[in-house]
Structure 1
Amino acid sequence: MRQFTTGDLNKQVGEVTSAAAREPVVLTKHRKPRFVLMSYEHYERMRTSGDPHRAYYVSEMPEEHRDLFVAEIGRLAHGEGYDSEP
Protein backbone atom coordinates (compact mmCIF):
# COMPACT_ATOMS: atom_id res chain seq x y z
CA MET A 1 0.00 0.00 0.00
CA ARG A 2 1.46 3.34 -0.98
CA GLN A 3 1.87 6.11 1.56
CA PHE A 4 1.67 9.85 1.17
CA THR A 5 1.85 12.66 3.68
CA THR A 6 -1.05 15.03 4.20
CA GLY A 7 1.25 17.66 2.70
CA ASP A 8 1.58 15.51 -0.43
CA LEU A 9 -2.19 15.50 -0.68
CA ASN A 10 -2.20 19.30 -0.70
CA LYS A 11 0.68 19.61 -3.19
CA GLN A 12 0.12 16.59 -5.44
CA VAL A 13 -3.60 15.94 -5.31
CA GLY A 14 -3.61 14.41 -8.82
CA GLU A 15 -0.90 11.86 -8.04
CA VAL A 16 -2.42 10.91 -4.69
CA THR A 17 -5.94 10.51 -6.04
CA SER A 18 -4.67 8.55 -9.07
CA ALA A 19 -2.91 6.14 -6.72
CA ALA A 20 -6.06 5.89 -4.58
CA ALA A 21 -8.09 5.04 -7.67
CA ARG A 22 -5.97 1.90 -8.12
CA GLU A 23 -5.74 0.82 -4.46
CA PRO A 24 -6.24 2.31 -0.98
CA VAL A 25 -3.40 4.61 0.09
CA VAL A 26 -2.29 5.66 3.57
CA LEU A 27 -2.05 9.35 4.42
CA THR A 28 0.42 10.10 7.18
CA LYS A 29 0.69 13.12 9.44
CA HIS A 30 3.74 13.65 11.62
CA ARG A 31 5.08 10.31 10.28
CA LYS A 32 2.11 8.35 11.65
CA PRO A 33 -0.69 6.75 9.61
CA ARG A 34 -3.81 8.87 10.04
CA PHE A 35 -6.16 8.26 7.12
CA VAL A 36 -6.88 5.84 4.28
CA LEU A 37 -7.97 7.22 0.92
CA MET A 38 -9.67 4.89 -1.55
CA SER A 39 -12.02 4.97 -4.50
CA TYR A 40 -15.71 5.11 -3.77
CA GLU A 41 -16.14 1.82 -5.64
CA HIS A 42 -13.61 0.10 -3.36
CA TYR A 43 -15.32 1.54 -0.29
CA GLU A 44 -18.74 0.32 -1.47
CA ARG A 45 -17.38 -3.18 -2.14
CA MET A 46 -15.94 -3.28 1.38
CA ARG A 47 -19.10 -1.91 2.92
CA THR A 48 -21.63 -4.12 1.17
CA SER A 49 -19.84 -7.32 0.29
CA GLY A 50 -19.20 -10.39 2.33
CA ASP A 51 -15.59 -9.26 2.59
CA PRO A 52 -13.86 -11.55 5.13
CA HIS A 53 -11.89 -8.55 6.36
CA ARG A 54 -15.03 -6.69 7.34
CA ALA A 55 -15.29 -5.66 10.99
CA TYR A 56 -18.53 -5.78 12.96
CA TYR A 57 -19.78 -4.59 16.29
CA VAL A 58 -20.83 -7.70 18.20
CA SER A 59 -24.41 -6.36 18.24
CA GLU A 60 -24.39 -6.16 14.40
CA MET A 61 -22.51 -9.38 13.71
CA PRO A 62 -24.30 -11.99 11.57
CA GLU A 63 -25.54 -14.85 13.76
CA GLU A 64 -23.19 -17.46 12.25
CA HIS A 65 -20.20 -15.19 12.87
CA ARG A 66 -21.33 -14.45 16.41
CA ASP A 67 -21.64 -18.18 17.15
CA LEU A 68 -18.09 -18.82 15.88
CA PHE A 69 -16.77 -15.82 17.80
CA VAL A 70 -18.36 -16.92 21.08
CA ALA A 71 -17.09 -20.49 20.62
CA GLU A 72 -13.51 -19.32 19.96
CA ILE A 73 -13.54 -16.89 22.89
CA GLY A 74 -14.68 -19.80 25.07
CA ARG A 75 -11.80 -21.97 23.85
CA LEU A 76 -9.29 -19.22 24.56
CA ALA A 77 -10.79 -18.60 28.00
CA HIS A 78 -10.14 -22.27 28.80
CA GLY A 79 -6.53 -22.05 27.62
CA GLU A 80 -7.13 -23.89 24.38
CA GLY A 81 -5.89 -22.79 20.99
CA TYR A 82 -2.80 -20.82 21.92
CA ASP A 83 -0.19 -23.50 21.25
CA SER A 84 -2.36 -26.30 19.95
CA GLU A 85 -2.51 -24.99 16.39
CA PRO A 86 0.43 -24.56 14.01
Structure 2
Amino acid sequence: MEAHMRTFSTADLNKHVGDVTDAARRGPVFITHHRKPRYVLMAIEDFERMRGKTDRRKQFTLDTMPAEIEEGLLALADSYEKDGGAND
Protein backbone atom coordinates (compact mmCIF):
# COMPACT_ATOMS: atom_id res chain seq x y z
CA MET A 1 0.00 0.00 0.00
CA GLU A 2 1.13 3.52 -0.75
CA ALA A 3 2.06 5.56 2.32
CA HIS A 4 0.12 8.70 1.30
CA MET A 5 -3.21 6.91 0.83
CA ARG A 6 -5.52 6.71 3.83
CA THR A 7 -6.75 3.29 4.88
CA PHE A 8 -10.08 2.32 6.41
CA SER A 9 -11.55 -1.07 7.25
CA THR A 10 -14.91 -2.22 5.96
CA ALA A 11 -16.14 -1.76 9.55
CA ASP A 12 -14.95 1.88 9.44
CA LEU A 13 -16.84 2.32 6.20
CA ASN A 14 -20.03 0.96 7.77
CA LYS A 15 -19.72 3.00 10.97
CA HIS A 16 -18.17 6.23 9.67
CA VAL A 17 -19.21 6.55 6.04
CA GLY A 18 -19.03 10.36 6.23
CA ASP A 19 -15.40 10.34 7.39
CA VAL A 20 -14.42 7.79 4.75
CA THR A 21 -16.14 9.61 1.89
CA ASP A 22 -14.65 12.95 3.06
CA ALA A 23 -11.20 11.37 2.90
CA ALA A 24 -11.98 9.94 -0.57
CA ARG A 25 -12.93 13.42 -1.76
CA ARG A 26 -9.36 14.54 -0.96
CA GLY A 27 -7.72 11.48 -2.52
CA PRO A 28 -8.20 7.76 -3.08
CA VAL A 29 -8.49 5.62 0.07
CA PHE A 30 -7.93 1.91 0.62
CA ILE A 31 -10.73 -0.13 2.12
CA THR A 32 -9.44 -3.23 3.88
CA HIS A 33 -11.20 -6.46 4.77
CA HIS A 34 -9.54 -8.76 7.30
CA ARG A 35 -6.56 -6.34 7.26
CA LYS A 36 -5.92 -6.82 3.55
CA PRO A 37 -6.51 -4.07 0.98
CA ARG A 38 -9.56 -5.07 -1.05
CA TYR A 39 -11.03 -1.89 -2.54
CA VAL A 40 -10.20 1.68 -3.46
CA LEU A 41 -12.72 4.48 -2.95
CA MET A 42 -12.18 7.72 -4.84
CA ALA A 43 -13.98 10.78 -6.12
CA ILE A 44 -15.53 10.36 -9.55
CA GLU A 45 -13.30 13.15 -10.90
CA ASP A 46 -10.20 11.19 -9.87
CA PHE A 47 -11.59 8.05 -11.46
CA GLU A 48 -12.44 9.81 -14.72
CA ARG A 49 -9.01 11.47 -14.80
CA MET A 50 -7.39 8.07 -14.23
CA ARG A 51 -9.39 6.61 -17.10
CA GLY A 52 -8.64 9.59 -19.34
CA LYS A 53 -12.22 10.79 -19.49
CA THR A 54 -11.92 14.31 -18.16
CA ASP A 55 -13.03 15.97 -21.39
CA ARG A 56 -16.83 16.10 -21.24
CA ARG A 57 -17.27 18.05 -24.47
CA LYS A 58 -19.75 16.56 -26.89
CA GLN A 59 -19.42 16.24 -30.63
CA PHE A 60 -22.28 16.63 -33.04
CA THR A 61 -23.01 17.65 -36.60
CA LEU A 62 -25.51 20.27 -37.76
CA ASP A 63 -27.98 17.42 -38.25
CA THR A 64 -27.53 16.01 -34.73
CA MET A 65 -27.14 19.30 -32.84
CA PRO A 66 -29.33 19.45 -29.70
CA ALA A 67 -32.19 21.97 -30.00
CA GLU A 68 -31.01 24.08 -27.03
CA ILE A 69 -27.58 24.56 -28.61
CA GLU A 70 -29.09 25.37 -31.99
CA GLU A 71 -31.38 27.97 -30.37
CA GLY A 72 -28.45 29.50 -28.50
CA LEU A 73 -26.32 29.73 -31.64
CA LEU A 74 -29.18 31.29 -33.61
CA ALA A 75 -29.77 33.86 -30.86
CA LEU A 76 -26.04 34.64 -30.79
CA ALA A 77 -26.00 35.04 -34.58
CA ASP A 78 -29.03 37.37 -34.42
CA SER A 79 -27.35 39.45 -31.73
CA TYR A 80 -24.14 39.61 -33.75
CA GLU A 81 -26.06 40.69 -36.86
CA LYS A 82 -27.99 43.40 -34.96
CA ASP A 83 -24.75 44.80 -33.52
CA GLY A 84 -23.26 45.10 -36.99
CA GLY A 85 -20.76 42.29 -36.67
CA ALA A 86 -17.34 42.43 -35.09
CA ASN A 87 -15.97 45.79 -34.07
CA ASP A 88 -12.36 45.37 -35.14
Specify if TM > 0.5.
Answer: yes
Secondary structure, in 3 states, of the residue corresponding to 1:21? helix
If each structure's helix is expressed as a fraction of its own residues, which one has the higher value? Answer: 1
Structure 1 residue 26: deviation in Å? 0.2
Residue ranges of structure 2 left out of the alignment (5+ in a row) = 54-88
Are 1:39 and 2:48 an aligned pair? no
Are 1:24 and 2:28 an aligned pair? yes
For 1:28-67, list aligned pairs within 5 A. 28-48=32-52
Q: CA RMSD in A?
A: 0.9
Residue ranges of structure 1 left out of the alignment (5+ in a row) = 50-86
Q: TM-score, normalised by structure 2?
A: 0.54
Runs of 4+ residues over 2 Å off in structure 1: none
Q: TM-score, normalised by structure 1?
A: 0.56
Aligned residues: 49
- Percent identity for Structure 1 against Structure 2: 63
